[in-house]
Chains A and B, each alone.
Chain A
Amino acid sequence: MQDKINTSYKQLEQRSKYTNMFLRWFLYLVLILFALYFIFPLYVMIVTSLKTMEEIRQGTLLTWPSGLNFDSWAVAWGGRGYGAGDTFLKPYFWNSIKMVVPAVFFSTFIGAMTGYVLTKWRFKGDQWVFLFLLFGCFIPFQAILLPMARTLGVLGISNSVIGLVLVHTVYGIPFTTLFFRNYYISVPTELVKAARIDGAGFFKIFFKILLPISAPIIVVTVIWQFTQIWNDFLFGSTFSFGEAAPIQVALNNMVLSSTSVKEYNVDMASAIIAGVPTLIVYVLAGKYFIRGLTSGAVKG
């Protein structure tokens, strides 16, 4: 009797082993198919950018290029050199850098300060102040576009990089505050209290106690802000045109400009150039990128 039970249990185990193996194959198959779906556009972009227009017309999306031909990359970056009507990305790439660096710096700094006050120097009603700031994460920017356009005009900084720095700094504050507040709330307040008894002031406590342990959240915030601002199109296209435009606006103009022949290889090279900075950050610091996404991701 006992033997019988044992053998039937073994049979059961054996059978579940086969089902398990089948299941695992299925699992990997599905995961790989999805991976191909996600990789496909990037692959197409890269190979297309390396082909000549002749090759593009003859082959398909997937055809391997005949060689490493970086001509369209050169055109996308530096133009063809015939003056008027020759749009290329180089100047706009620098516009974006000039816009991103100060905007990320200011918004991160302000967020660190407000996060510090909201958790370590609490005052009556601070929760409401936090909520007041937090709501700024969610507003659809269409509701502020019109007055913002006028304000920038009045300040004399419409269609300028400075104007975009201001816009991105302001609308980044809710996010940076959220990040720093959620991080500092887990830092023991006793640390701050002890320092206060020792006579340390507001700024000393921040720079000596909190700032040295803030590296992870600074990285998360900087990556988040960098990605958001670099990828922004709405503000860029509304508040700037012509020479002051950031790279996403320039990319869109380049792709839409209907010259006689559509040069898909140049389009794809341009798209890669516009996407490469954020992709590099993602590959190098994916962990922090995901942390930012999952803890404060609300912006579209």
Chain B
Amino acid sequence: MFKWLEKNLPKIVMAPAVGLIGWFVYGFVLWTLYISFTNSKILPKYELWGVGQYVKLWGSRKWLIAVDNLLIFTALFLIFCVVIGIILAIFLDQKIRAEGVLRTIYLYPMALSFIVTGTAWKWILNPTLGIQKMFIDWGFENFTFDWLVNREMAIYTIVIAGVWQSAGFVMALFLAGLRSVEDEIVKAAKIDGANLFTVYWKILLPMMRPVFFTSFVILVHISIKSYDLIVALTQGGPGISTTMPALYMTQTAFHKSQVGLSAASAMMMFMAVAAVIIPYLYSELRRENAR
């Protein structure tokens, strides 16, 4: 008995973690999947109902707006974060004075919650006393900046705040990547007559492909899950113009009490994340095994 215990001790120690994740992650996802095929309203029902909830979901105007917003947000969020992140990383890589201070400034938003970020930007972007007033007081009398309360433009305020929060993170990833490249490669290129621009454009950035990939995966992942920032900044408004899938899911579940429909939307999000993550994990694992 004691022998057995000793032999299996590692597995016994692993058991709680595996059990908890098995139950709370895999079990729960399966439960949600099952519920998405039922006609559950306030309380879950367990008779299968087919794909009705998914039909309903994709016929819902609000969900289509949410998906549309997600695509707009993801595209802009990705582009701005990556471009700003790369520019900052390359510039910081030029033996800059006070690099530590600048890096700290670029990255501190990552330490704040999206609720804090959203609260701050909501105040800055508010049309009565925020940026608009600042410019008017400076003498630009016709200056208007009302994106926060403008149906067409409100989604872009979420991009502004989101990029502010996450661009520094992309910078940190690229800076770490650039620093891991050996000096000899850059020196050799310079001796061959390449200028700094060519060195980065033709040599270093192509070498950063794994970093691009990682940034892409993480940023898409953040944007699919974005919830807090929208709640704090616009609450999905004006109207429903800035709804996104994560917000749709919780509102449908907890305000509208449409548990089945809400589960269907959660599963759509799950599949979207899986489509990005599984290739990523696969390639990461292959890279690790190759080492």
A21 interface hit (Cβ, 8 Å): no
**B266 A290 Cβ-Cβ under 8 A:** no
Which among B47-55, B147-155, B216-224 touches the partner chain?
A: B216-224
**A143 B29 Cβ-Cβ under 8 A:** yes
A174 interface hit (Cβ, 8 Å): yes
A25 interface hit (Cβ, 8 Å): no
**A174 B32 Cβ-Cβ under 8 A:** no
Complex CA distance for A261 and B90, rounded to whole angstroms: 46
**A41 B120 Cβ-Cβ under 8 A:** yes
Q: Which residues of A contact B16 (CB under 8 A)?
A: 110
A162 interface hit (Cβ, 8 Å): no
A187 interface hit (Cβ, 8 Å): no
Query: What is the distance, in angstroms, from B172's C-beta to the closest C-beta of chain A?
Result: 6
**B92 A31 Cβ-Cβ under 8 A:** yes
**B285 A131 Cβ-Cβ under 8 A:** yes
A70 interface hit (Cβ, 8 Å): no
In the complex, what residue of chain B is closest to A252 when comparing beta carbons? B115
Of A147, A252, A270, A281, chain B has the most CB atoms within 10 Å of the CB of A147
B181 interface hit (Cβ, 8 Å): no
B235 interface hit (Cβ, 8 Å): yes
Q: Which residues of A contact B124 (CB under 8 A)?
A: 40-41, 44, 61
A154 interface hit (Cβ, 8 Å): no
**A60 B227 Cβ-Cβ under 8 A:** no
With A133-B17, A170-B24, A251-B119 given, is the CB distance from A143 to B168 under 8 Å? no
Cβ contacts B51-88/A at 8 Å (1 or 0 each): 00000000000000000000000000000000010011
In the complex, what residue of chain B is closest to A40 when comparing beta carbons? B124
With A44-B120, A146-B263 given, is the CB distance from A290 to B172 under 8 Å? yes
Q: How many residues of chain B get a CB closer than 8 Å to chain A's CBs?
A: 95
B267 interface hit (Cβ, 8 Å): yes
In the complex, what residue of chain A is closest to B222 when comparing beta carbons? A300
**B28 A147 Cβ-Cβ under 8 A:** yes
Interchain CB contact (< 8 A) of A27 among B27, B96, B119, B250: B96
B9 interface hit (Cβ, 8 Å): yes
In the complex, what residue of chain A is closest to B161 when comparing beta carbons? A41
Q: Which residues of B contact A234 (CB under 8 A)?
A: 227-228, 246, 250
Cβ contacts B1-36/A at 8 Å (1 or 0 each): 000001001110110111011101101110110010
**A61 B134 Cβ-Cβ under 8 A:** yes
In the complex, what residue of chain B is closest to A289 when comparing beta carbons? B111
A231 interface hit (Cβ, 8 Å): yes
Query: What is the distance, in angstroms, from A146's C-beta to the closest C-beta of chain B?
Result: 6
A155 interface hit (Cβ, 8 Å): no
Complex CA distance for A173 and B281, rounded to whole angstroms: 18
Complex CA distance for A142 and B254, rounded to whole angstroms: 12
**A202 B221 Cβ-Cβ under 8 A:** no
Q: Which residues of A contact B108 (CB under 8 A)?
A: 38, 42, 279, 282-283
Query: What is the distance, in angstroms, from B13's C-beta to the closest C-beta of chain A?
Result: 5
**B273 A38 Cβ-Cβ under 8 A:** no
**B123 A38 Cβ-Cβ under 8 A:** no
Q: Give the contacts of B213-237 with A (CB-CB under 8 A).
A: 217-218, 221-228, 231-232, 235
B37 interface hit (Cβ, 8 Å): no
Complex CA distance for A146 and B104, rounded to whole angstroms: 39
Interchain CB contact (< 8 A) of B84 among A34, A148, A297: A34
In the complex, what residue of chain A is closest to B34 when comparing beta carbons? A147
Q: Which residues of A contact B17 (CB under 8 A)?
A: 110-111, 113-114, 133, 173, 177
Interchain CB contact (< 8 A) of B116 among A133, A138, A251: A251
B94 interface hit (Cβ, 8 Å): yes
Interchain CB contact (< 8 A) of B123 among A57, A268, A278, A290: A268
Cβ contacts A33-47/B at 8 Å (1 or 0 each): 011011111101100
Q: Which residues of A contact B266 (CB under 8 A)?
A: 140, 142-143, 145-146
**A147 B31 Cβ-Cβ under 8 A:** yes
Of A27, A123, A252, chain B has the most CB atoms within 10 Å of the CB of A252
With A143-B270, A173-B20 given, is the CB distance from A117 to B10 under 8 Å? yes
Pairs across A and B, CB under 8 Å, 24 listed: A34-B88, A56-B129, A113-B13, A132-B18, A135-B281, A136-B25, A139-B273, A140-B266, A142-B250, A143-B266, A144-B24, A144-B32, A146-B266, A170-B20, A202-B6, A202-B10, A234-B228, A252-B232, A275-B111, A279-B112, A282-B107, A282-B111, A298-B218, A300-B221
20 further contact pairs, Cβ within 8 A, besides A142-B245, A146-B32, A255-B232 = A30-B87, A41-B117, A41-B124, A61-B124, A61-B129, A110-B16, A123-B10, A134-B281, A135-B25, A139-B270, A140-B273, A142-B265, A146-B253, A147-B31, A252-B119, A256-B235, A264-B123, A268-B123, A281-B111, A282-B108
Residues of A within 8 A of B (CB): 24, 27-28, 30-31, 34-35, 37-42, 44-45, 48, 56-57, 59-62, 110-111, 113-114, 116-118, 121, 123, 129, 131-136, 138-148, 150, 170-171, 173-174, 177, 201-202, 227, 230-234, 237-238, 248, 251-252, 255-256, 264, 267-268, 270-272, 274-275, 278-279, 281-283, 286, 289-290, 293-294, 297-298, 300
